Amino acid sequence: MVVSMDALRAEARHAPGDILQLWKRNMLAYRRQPELMVFSTIQPVMFVLLFAFVFGGAIPTGPVEYIDFLLPGILAQSVLFGSTQTGVGLAVDVTSGMIDRYRTLPMARSAVVAGRILADTTRNVFVVGLMLGVGFLIGFRYHGTVAGAIAMPFVAVLFGQTFCWISAAIGTSVRRAETAQVASFVWLFPLVFVSSVFVPVETMPDWLEVVAENSPVTQTVNAMRGLALGTDFWEPLVKALAWMAGIMAVFVPLAVWRYRSIQ
Amino acid sequence: MADGSNGSSPIVVVRDVHKSFGDVHALAGVSLEIERGTVLGLLGPNGAGKTTLVRVLTTLLDPDEGSATVAGYDVRRERTRVRPLIGLAGQSAAVDDTLTGRENLEMVANLYHMGRATAAARAGELLARFDLVEAAERQARTYSGGMRRRLDLAASLVADPEVLFLDEPTTGLDPQARLELWAVIRELVATGTTVLLTTQYLEEADQLADEIVVIDHGRIIAQGTASELKARSGGEHLTVRVSDLAALEEVRQVLEAEGDGPPTVDDATGTVSVAVSNGPARLAGVVRRLDEAEVSIADIGLRQPTLDEVFLSLTGHRAESEPADAPTGAG
């Protein structure tokens, strides 16, 4: 792969517009594929309702109402599961030949992946909003500051965006959409469940608690809880942001490199 | 258009390009040139290396060795210069199923950075030209195979490319759709676009290409115009079609006497043919003898061998399975 100054200049000039084009394309695809909308909306809402009403009574969360404990966690879980769609979408584009079309066009190289992630992040904003609405209907309340209330869903969206890059690296490395899906869930499930998403980590066996306590998911969820409940949030927030920065530092270049070496 | 070459030199130059995938030598030293405004037909069976060469020339794949230029620009080192000048359609490219025909073309136009108004105008123009106006607001997933190919071709022409790469443009199409697409490609060629067409259909190269390059196992095994290639496989055939099948045996005997080898008899069509040298003189002789024997014939003529026969004589094996097979994978 040869990178010239010419190419870099063209990249910088065209990237914003080209990313927007790909964003638009992906948003249209979401709107027109009902199965994707179902995956994006009904599933997260169902999770909120099932956990709140089925598990809620059985999981002790101290003085905090379970729905208040649950909602930040389940927001993080939803954006994480949602991030798998980045890889699936890219794998579909590779299989269908769309990527080849894009790569013969004089467009910014980053646009296909970045446009995809921008669309998936837009969807995450929508999903997070929807789940907050459903949460409010079944009793979720903020207990902290207004700034915390605004920051909490923002952290969730940022977290989802981070994992979209991991998913993008997977989607551009495998050959099939189904493989991308499996290759994502196989590590996402343990990552989500071995964390403070659904239960306090203190209830886990010691060795597992250590793992859970240091997971990016736990740190992010704890930061979101702190922001929503008005409790301490700075320490987990800093750790969560450090995790996100670390993941991005590895997976943004990896995804871009994988995309460029598709042949 | 300012580019790195002058007007009279070949617009595509390929020099000794090699490309391997593991142990498979997809391209084992391919060199060729395409003159401006001409159609080069790259003919070969599945797996011959056709698609690999197209992918190298369209900047999708780096060659292991050798070099290639389009309009004077190196496809590896100057891909940002090459891309605005080329269009790609066929099995290597695609249309977006969830976008409408119009949205597909507008998106491509926008990605060529044409500006919104120009992009919309260009999309409308191409939809009209490719007979897709009625289907313009429908998602491409509802299109027939022929419509998809036309949309694909339209997308490859959005920026009015100097060189158009058509990678097996009619593979998998029914005969009617194929004929329609041929007509579209002929119109394009008439406007002066340079075309590299890959095909495994011998008839297609014959119909569309000025010059044919025959490729097999990553190597060029023959090159020339359709008639030059045909001449290489043993000259003309004299064919007689009888009006009464009862006369078939008598005609066969006449052709056996006049021809250069054993005649072939096709009962289904009532034809007998034989290879001949000095065709016109033999034709006169055959007509005279059939007339003397009072055999009534429906048709008589000299024809060139088919490209299928050419491929057989060049490679010792047949070029393809039946065209009805939908080929898959890299060609």
Report the C-alpha gap between B235 and A160 in whole angstroms.
Answer: 69
Within 13 Å and on the Cβ side, how many CA atoms surround B84?
Answer: 13
Q: What pLDDT shows up at residue B92?
A: 61
Residues of B in contact with A98 (CB under 8 A): 94, 96
Return the structure tokens found at A2.
Answer: 């040869």
Instruction: Note the pLDDT tens digit of each residue in B27-86.
Output: 999 999 999 999 999 998 888 899 999 999 999 999 999 999 999 999 999 988 999 999
pLDDT averaged over every residue in chain A: 90
Top residue of A20, A100, A112, A116 to mutate, by most chain B CBs within 10 Å, is A100
Q: How many domains does chain A have?
A: 1
Q: Does B58 touch chain A (CB under 8 A)?
A: yes
Helix (H) or strand (E) holding A120: helix A111-137
Instruction: Tell me, yes or no, if B116 comes closer than 8 A to chain A by beta carbon.
Output: no
Kindly report the average pLDDT of chain B as a whole number. 85
- Does the predicted TM-score (pTM) go above 0.90? no
Between B111 and A185, the more confident residue is B111
Q: What pLDDT score was predicted for residue B118?
A: 95
User: Domain B12-230 has what CATH class?
Assistant: alpha beta
Q: What percent of chain A has pLDDT over 90?
A: 56
Which residues in chain A are closer than 8 Å to B108, comparing Cβ atoms? 101, 105
| Parallel, antiparallel or unpaired: strands B163-167 and B24-34 | unpaired
In the three-class reduction of DSSP (H, G, I as helix; E, B as strand; rest coil), residue A108 is classed as coil
CA distance B13 to chain A (A): 18
As annotated, the residues of chain B forming the CATH 3.30.70.100 domain(s) are 236-303
Nearest by CB: A97 against B77, B92, B113: B92
Chain B (179-238) residues lying within 8 Å, Cβ to Cβ, of chain A: none
Q: What is the 3-state secondary structure (H, E, C) of chain B?
A: CCCCCCCCCCCEEEEEEEEEECCEEEEEEEEEEECCCCEEEEECCCCCCHHHHHHHHCCCCCCCEEEEEECCEECCCCHHHHHHHEEEEECCCCCCCCCEHHHHHHHHHHHCCCCHHHHHHHHHHHHHHCCCCCCCCCEHHHCCHHHHHHHHHHHHCCCCCCEEEEECCCCCCCHHHHHHHHHHHHHHHHCCCEEEEEECCHHHHHHHCCEEEEEECCEEEEEECHHHHHHCCCCEEEEEEECCHHHHHHHHHHHHHHCCCCCEEECCCCEEEEEECCHHHHHHHHHHHHHHCCCCEEEEEEECCCHHHHHHHHHCCCCCCCCCCCCCCCC
Q: How far apart are CA A177 and CA A183, in angstroms?
A: 10
Q: What is the pLDDT of residues B228-250, one digit of tens each?
A: 887 776 667 888 888 888 888 88
pLDDT of residue B234: 63
Asked if A73 and A159 count as a contact pair (C-beta separation under 8 A), the reply is: no
B97 touches chain A (CB under 8 A): yes
Q: Is the pLDDT of residue A105 over 70?
A: yes
Integer Cα distance of B243 and A100 in angstroms: 54
Report CA Rg, chain B.
23
Residue B319 has pLDDT above 60, yes or no: no
Q: Cβ distance B110 to B119 under 8 Å?
A: yes
B98 touches chain A (CB under 8 A): yes
10 Å Cβ neighbour count for B262? Answer: 11
Q: Is B149 on the interface with A (CB under 8 A)?
A: no
User: What value of ipTM does the predicted structure carry?
Assistant: 0.85
Q: Which residue of B has its CA nearest to A7?
A: B80
Task: Select the residue from B74, B79, B100, B165 to test the A interface by mutation, using most A Cβ atoms within 10 A.
Answer: B79
Residue type, A77: Q
Query: Measured between CB atoms, which of A1, A24, A101 is closest to B94?
Result: A101
Closest chain A residue to B109, measured at CA? A105
DSSP-derived 3-state class of residue A105: coil
CB A84 within 8 A of CB A180: yes
Identity of the residue in A6, A102, A263 whose CB atom sits nearest the CB atom of B61: A263
For residues B105-127, average pLDDT? 94
**Do A146 and A232 meet the contact criterion of CB atoms below 8 Å apart?**
no
pLDDT tens for residues A50-67?
A: 988 888 777 878 888 889
> Which of B297, B261, B292 lies closest to B277, judged by CA?
B261
Q: Quote the pLDDT of residue B307.
A: 66
CATH for B236-303, among 3.40.50.1820, 3.40.50.1970, 3.30.70.100, 3.30.70.20? Answer: 3.30.70.100
Residues of B whose CB is below 8 A from A36:
none
What is residue A2's predicted lDDT score, i.e. its pLDDT? Answer: 52
Nearest to A97 among B93, B107, B139 (CB): B93
pLDDT reported for residue A4: 65
Nearest residue in A to B115, CA atom: A17
How distant is the alpha carbon of residue B268 from its chain centre?
29
The C-alpha atoms of residue B316 and residue B308 are separated, in whole angstroms, by 11
Q: Is the pLDDT of residue B220 over 80?
A: yes
Confirm if B286 and B240 have CB atoms less than 8 A apart. Answer: yes
Residue B103 has pLDDT above 60, yes or no: yes
How large a percentage of chain B has pLDDT more than 70?
A: 89
Sheet holding B24-34, edge to edge: B24-34, B12-21, B65-70, B73-74
How large is the average pLDDT for residues A144-163? Answer: 95
Start-end of CATH 3.40.50.300 domains in chain B: 12-230
Tens of pLDDT along B166-191?
Answer: 999 988 888 888 898 899 889 888 88
**For B91, which residue in chain A has the nearest alpha carbon?**
A97
Spatial contact of B46 and B200, defined as CB atoms under 8 Å apart:
yes
B120–chain A Cβ distance below 8 A for any pair? no
Tell me the residues of A at the B interface, defined by beta carbons under 8 Å apart: 1-2, 4, 6-7, 10, 14, 17-18, 21, 24-25, 28-29, 32-33, 96-98, 100-107, 111, 263
In the structure encoding, which two tokens stand for residue A8, read together? 């870099």
Smallest CA–CA separation between A117 and chain B, in Å?
A: 18
- Domain range for A19 is 5-260
The Cα A68–Cα A72 span in angstroms is: 8
Given a contact cutoff of 8 angstroms between Cβ atoms, the answer to whether B39 and B226 are in contact is no
- Residue A229, burial from CB neighbour count under 10 angstroms (0-12, 13-18, 19+): buried
Selected residue with higher pLDDT from A262 and A105: A105
Note the pLDDT of residue B321. 43
Across the interface, which of B58, B93, B107 has its CB nearest the CB of A21? Answer: B107
Residue A244 pLDDT greater than 90, yes or no: yes
Cβ atoms of A74 and A132 within 8 Å: the answer is no
Q: Which residues of A touch B59 (CB under 8 A)?
A: 103-104
Which of A30, A90, A105 would you mutate first to test chain B, the one with the most B CBs within 10 A? A105
Contacts B93 to A, Cβ<8 Å: 97, 100-101, 104
B203 in Cβ contact with B182 (< 8 Å):
no
pLDDT band for position B326 (50/70/90)? very low
Look at A29 and B99 and tell me if their CB atoms are within 8 Å: yes
CB-count burial class (<10 Å; 0-12, 13-18, 19+) for B192: exposed
The strand pairing partners of B18, in sequence order, are B28, B65
Q: What average pLDDT does the segment B284-298 reach?
A: 84
